[in-house]
Amino acid sequence: MLKINNLSAHYGAAQALYGIDMTIAAGETVALVGANGAGKSTLLKCLLGLQKPSGGTISLDEKDITGTSPARMVQLGVALSPEGREVFGNLSVFENLQLGAIPLKLGKAEESRRMDEVYERFPKLKARKKQQAGTLSGGEQQMLAMGRALMAKPRLLLLDEPSLGLAPRIMDDIFAIIRQLARGGTTILLVEQNAARALSASDKAYLLANGRIVQQGNSGELLNDPMLRAAFLGAASDENPAASRLGAAGLTNIRLEKPAMHTPDFMPAFHNEQELKDHQLRGLQWTVAHCYEGSSHYRKKFEAAGVAPGDIQSLEDLQKLPFTTADDLRTGYPFPLRAVPFEQIVRVHASSGTTGKRKVLSYTQKDLDDWISIFARCYQMAGVTALDRVQVAVGYGVWTAGMGFQLGCEKIGALAVPIGPGNIDMQIQFLLDFQSTVFCSTASMALLMAEEIHQRGIADKINVKKIIYGSERSSRSMRRKISDLFGGAELFDITGLTELYGPGTGIECSDHDCIHYWADYYLLEILDPDTLKPLPEGEWGEMVVTSLCKEGAPLIRYRTRDITRIIGGPCSCGSIMPRHSRIRGRSDDTIKFRGVNIYPSSIDTILSAVPGLGSEYQIHMHRDSAERDHMNLIVERAEGVDGGRTAELIHEVVHQIKKQILVSVNTELVDYGTLPRSERKSQRVFDKRITDEIV
């Protein structure tokens, strides 16, 4: 229907359009997208004859109409709904509509018939037909401007910024009308700054920047192109819920001439390993001085070890410092390792483990800011951007998990869907309704969701591209199953511990063969858990961490008890951040079950409080063929207790463990003396969950 060839336009000496080529077929809706000053309105003015082109041609139905008058263009079937509406405020709604057909010189009957069609499409205008246009709301004035253009029964409707300044609900109504017009056969050229709105309502699109077409193509493909979506920062719609979320209120001011409009970079700016080491030494020296001056606990330990802040002259001097253990945190409860005045503490978090007293850590505002930034860095390494929707299915409460995932998500600019764990029906509903692109959970929760998605047959209806999980060990086979049942989602193992900051202290990269850890925030040593001597690269040992800038509760050589190994050399992903393997296990007897740290001593405490139970027990962990973790507890009855009390005792054990440790266990009672005794420490934990490799 319309063809534009090599069109240029000037305002005096200033050129506004440069060699524009465009075609619009009959029945198409074509979007013209660009920022303020890109040349969109100038192009429309040239089409309608309001602006004379300085070069090129415009053809309608293969006839040259370049420079044709506006009145003649209306007679040829082209009408404009202008930017800013430009209604005549002192005239009534009825009189404004009449103006739209003046060039056609319609008879009264035809004018009345067309007026009725407009009223049918815009019922609000009919209710206000005698009202002055200047008293209408912004949305009603936009309807009036469109209705005025429709009075000409145009074959080609030009819409200039129809969503400008409108509330989201009114904008929805306007775009619904645009789609109705398109379905009715009206050819539409839609000019918009709100890129996603325009793209989701059109068949094809042209992207205009600085007076030039910089991209064109099928609207759906452009809308889902990650680079273009990152540049547009547009909004989702009912027709394309996978589109980006920003600009939903028409506030987006896209600038296609600046394609670097991406998520902020949270990666460190070190150029080489030496710069990182220099940073680490400064951080270590600050931390030691901070602990010495601010923490009576650390000062005593330093004095006992014969070390002072001035003794730290190199990173090798780290080995002069004493170790910190979980016992230090428990004995210092409720504010262990505190190194700042109370008025500087803005939050506390606690570990998810159960040992009588939780390990509680204090945070200053800087600590929280740092934590949020490194969590955003994790999202960035996993490829999450402001265009993603992140469903957070990890726990909220005094522990760090849920809040860390949510705040990091918001820091990077993505949409957070904070649900918390469990409630599978709601999780599924939100995956479908919100079209979440990222799912965050424990490995167990991810597997549970994957199986549910498979059973309901909705893998092709959800939009999860990435799964970020942590808190539990997972084998390759388990990861593969989760990915497959989620429809091919990419998995990222995230690490962290409350004592350090929380989750987010490291994450695997897109090459999926390691964990990159944030060595600009903490030092990592791998030590032999028995001798506490450093191990060379590649050997498995206990992870020991030292914070470099943590204020509230800094860590000095904290024994995490996690077993891993350092991976030497540069990563093929290009990151300068050092690497370690996924966590293989623990150097103590801690059990990690469904995201909860459980100490056998806490099980012992619960069992000893139930009259009728003996002192011997065993904990058996296994993973079934569906990759689900199970905990079986075998407990002896006390000597002389009748077997008739078995059901009662099992019920009490299951209830107390669920109440105090927040996990469910399968419990079996056996006769007194059944379980083996040993003159040494009895083996009470049998963990057979992972039988294949983890890396």
Q: Which two tokens stand for residue 640?
A: 């002389």
Radius of gyration of the chain (CA): 33
Residue, of 83 and 519, whose pLDDT is higher: 519
22 Cβ contact list (under 8 Å, min separation 6) = 2, 3, 4, 7, 30, 206, 213
Range 238-268 burial, b when 16+ CB lie within 10 A, else e = eebebbbbbbbebebebbbbeeeeebeebeb
Distance from the Cα of residue 247 to its chain's centroid: 17
Task: Express as a percent the part of the chain with pLDDT over 90.
Answer: 50
Digit-coded pLDDT (tens) for 211-238: 999 889 888 777 666 656 555 544 444 4
> Following CA atoms 521, 526, 530, 536 in sequence, which dihedral angle do they give, to the nearest 10 degrees?
-150
Question: Whose structure tokens read 């069609």?
Answer: 117
Range 476-497 burial, b when 16+ CB lie within 10 A, else e = eebbebbbebbbebbbbbbbbb
410 Cβ contact list (under 8 Å, min separation 6) = 416
d(CA 387, CA 231): 10
Q: What is the pLDDT of residue 248?
A: 32
From 199-208, 307-316, 532-541, the region with the lowest mean pLDDT:
199-208
Digit-coded pLDDT (tens) for 261-305: 345 789 998 989 999 999 999 999 999 999 999 999 999 999 999
Cβ–Cβ < 8 Å for 561, 554:
no
The domain 1-77+155-261 having CATH identifier 3.40.50.300: the answer here is: yes
pTM of the complete model: 0.57
Q: What is the pLDDT of residue 226?
A: 60
Digit-coded pLDDT (tens) for 625-638: 777 888 999 998 88
Helix (H) or strand (E) holding 657: helix 646-661
Q: Where do the structural domains in the chain lie, given as residue ranges?
A: 1-77+155-261, 88-153, 592-688
Cβ–Cβ < 8 Å for 254, 192:
no
Digit-coded pLDDT (tens) for 27-59: 999 999 887 788 888 999 999 999 999 999 999
Cβ–Cβ < 8 Å for 522, 560:
no
Digit-coded pLDDT (tens) for 325-353: 999 998 898 999 999 999 999 999 987 55
94-103, 615-624, 669-678 — most confident range: 94-103
Q: What topology does CATH give the domain 592-688? A: GMP Synthetase; Chain A, domain 3 (3.30.300)
Helix (H) or strand (E) holding 205: strand 204-209
Could you write out the DSSP letters of every residue in 267-312? S----SHHHHHHHHHHHHHHHHHHHHHH-HHHHHHHHHHT--GGG-
